[in-house]
Amino acid sequence: MRAAALALAGVAWLAAGCTQPEAPMARAAPTVLLPVPSDPTIALSVSFGVGSQDDPPDKEGLAYLTGEMLATAATERNAYEDIIDALYPIASNYSITVDKEISTLTGRTHRDNIDVFFELLADAYLRPAFDATDFERVKSDAINYLENTLRYASDEELGKAALTQAIFAGTPYAHPVQGTVAGLRNITLEDVAAFYARYYTAANVTLGLAGGYDAALVDRFEATRAALPQGTAPPDPVIDPPDWDGTEVVLVDKPAADASISLGFPLDLQRGERDFYALWVANSWLGEHRNQAGRLFQVIRGARGLNYGNYSYLEAFPAGGQRMMPPVNVARRHQIYEIWIRTLPNNQAHFALRAAIRELRELIAGGMTAEEFELTRAFLDKYVLHFAETTAERLGYAIDDRFYGIADPGHLQRFRETLAELTLDEVNAALQRHLRYDNLKIAIVTGDADRLRTALIANTASPIEYESPKPPALLAEDAGIAEFALDIGPGQVTIVPVAEIFAR
């Protein structure tokens, strides 16, 4: 009964409408269609196979600026302020998500207004004007984001960006999607136009349409593909992150900052693979995003109150501080297994870091218990229904399914089906195969870099004191955490002044 009700409740959409072949990265394949006749709104998605991995050396940020010049700038037919005026009374908007590998223009409108909206959206990717005044604004905003916001007003995102840079050092994945300061300064409007001509082509686009649309709109939408230059889908650059030996640490030295920590390593799994889904279960138990039941949350915040939250991830989760559910359209060929320890006092950073890595070790070594496995499985079976409650979110998943080559009925439904079959042994074996607690990269934004460096290298004990009495079992556990060895050698800690990070 419970299962039947749930099927009616949430799964219908998972199985509905979407027809697509199993063909990895088959851009320029048929349009992704998700008809929802009862939905009075229409969602559109135009996803190009281009991202920051395609930025030329010394022009990091070119993919980002190009995307923004489509989504927040003039077209050949309309000045940007006229576009804003036209979108205003229909309460609609389009925007672009530029990520490492794909750039996805999305918009949603009420079907009363689809004609007005569709023309504006189509103009954005077919007829960008590359106006010089718009370019000046978009470029200056991007530079300000790196120089002011990321470096000085967003320590947690900075920590994550520093981790990505450390793990993918020397590859086109290393720099932030927004670029580097020097790269952005180097970029000209001519670069943007040439980049657009190369990558924004019929051969390199995936179209998606969802909601209460009609057949005529499908035809009009598909005609825009024909209006793009045919082009070719350029080959994806090789991303081969360097190996390293022993745990390495980057300390981003930011005066007066508390500690914001991210750590991880490259993960050799993709959604669609059975082990990915097995690992999903274990990772959810360890650190489901923004969930109080996660083990890391319980150990560091729940029992000890050290910070606001602690989570772990199998896939990129940008802007984690601003969202509850995973984002769409950040599909990547390469992922990081990542643990995020939210901001805490510098004098507790070493302890929290040890606690997190120790939990990771315990999970890999001991596996989940049968009870934990069953509870987490029950949780995820319903929780994933919240990942894509809206038509636009479902479309986002369907577009990403194209990227990963996942056929009907798609990633989320495949996960739920696999979840029903998985065994505890499979999950625990996947943990052993894919996760590790040594040879990590760690990034810490901190105002106490020198002391922390010394303590990490010397493996100094890091006991903490509490405001309140704690149970003996917790204090005993603390003693183990405070001396937990991280094996970080003197040559394995780098200090980067915050003013220099992402400079070039």
Partner 1 sequence: MLRSLALILGIVYVTTGTHAQQAATGGRLIAFPTHAETLDNGLKTIVISMPGSGLVSYWSIVRTGSRDEFEPGRTGFAHFFEHMMFRGTDRYPADDYNQILTGIGASRNAYTTDDLTAYHFSIAAEDLALVMDLESDRFQNLAYSEADFRTEAGAVYGEYRKNVTSPFFVLYEAVMATAFNVHTYGHTTMGYEADIAAMPTMYDYSLDFFARYYRPENTILLIVGDIEAPPTMNLVREYYGSWQPGYVPPKITPEPVQAEARNVAVNYAGRSLPILAVAYKFDAFDPSNRLRVAADLLTEMAFGATSDIYKQLVLDEQLVEFLAADPGLNRDPGLLDIYTRIKDPSRIDAVLATIDATTERFKTTLVAPADLDALKSRLRYGFLMGLETPDAVARGLARSVAVSGGLEGIEALYRAYETISPEDIRAAAERYLDPNRRTIGVLRAQP
Task: Determine the length of the chain.
Answer: 504
Q: Does 133 bind partner 1 (CB under 8 A)?
A: yes
- Answer for which of 16, 23, 153, 227 binds partner 1 (CB under 8 A) is 153
Least distance in Å: CB of 292 to partner 1? 6
- Answer for which of 137, 198, 220, 274 binds partner 1 (CB under 8 A) is 137
- Answer for which of 19, 21, 22, 140 binds partner 1 (CB under 8 A) is 140
Residues 430-489 within binding reach of partner 1 (CB under 8 A): 466-470
From residue 461, how far is each of 152, 355, 455, 475, 483 by CA, in Å?
30, 12, 8, 14, 5
Which residue type, as a one-letter code, is found at position 25? M
Residue from 401, 410, 412, 239 nearest 334 by CA: 239
Give the residue with the Cβ less far from partner 1, 58 or 112.
112
Least distance in Å: CB of 122 to partner 1? 20
Least distance in Å: CB of 374 to partner 1? 9
Residues 23-52 within binding reach of partner 1 (CB under 8 A): 38, 40-41
236-255 mask for partner 1 (x: CB under 8 A)? ------------------xx
Residues 254-273 within binding reach of partner 1 (CB under 8 A): 254-258
Q: Does 345 bind partner 1 (CB under 8 A)?
A: yes
- Answer for which of 17, 273, 383, 408 binds partner 1 (CB under 8 A) is 383
CA distance 62 to 191: 8
Q: Does 504 bind partner 1 (CB under 8 A)?
A: no
Cβ contact 440:247 at 8 Å: yes
Least distance in Å: CB of 175 to partner 1? 20
Distance between first and last Cα of the chain:
58
Give the residue with the Cβ less far from partner 1, 386 or 504.
386
CA distance 412 to 6: 14
The count of residues interacting with partner 1 (CB under 8 A) is: 82
Residues 286-325 within binding reach of partner 1 (CB under 8 A): 290-293, 301-308, 321-322, 324-325
From residue 26, how far is each of 1, 55, 204 by CA, in Å?
39, 22, 9
Cβ contact 139:123 at 8 Å: no
Give the residue with the Cβ less far from partner 1, 247 or 262.
262
- Answer for which of 37, 57, 89, 170 binds partner 1 (CB under 8 A) is 89
Determine the 3-state secondary structure of 303 from DSSP: coil
CA distance 310 to 308: 7
- Answer for which of 68, 101, 155, 400 binds partner 1 (CB under 8 A) is 155
Q: In sequence order, what DSSP letters do the residues of 8-73 get, joined into one string? A: IIIIHHHHSS------TT-TTSSPEEEE-TT-SEEEEEEEES--GGGPPTT-TTHHHHHHHHHHSS
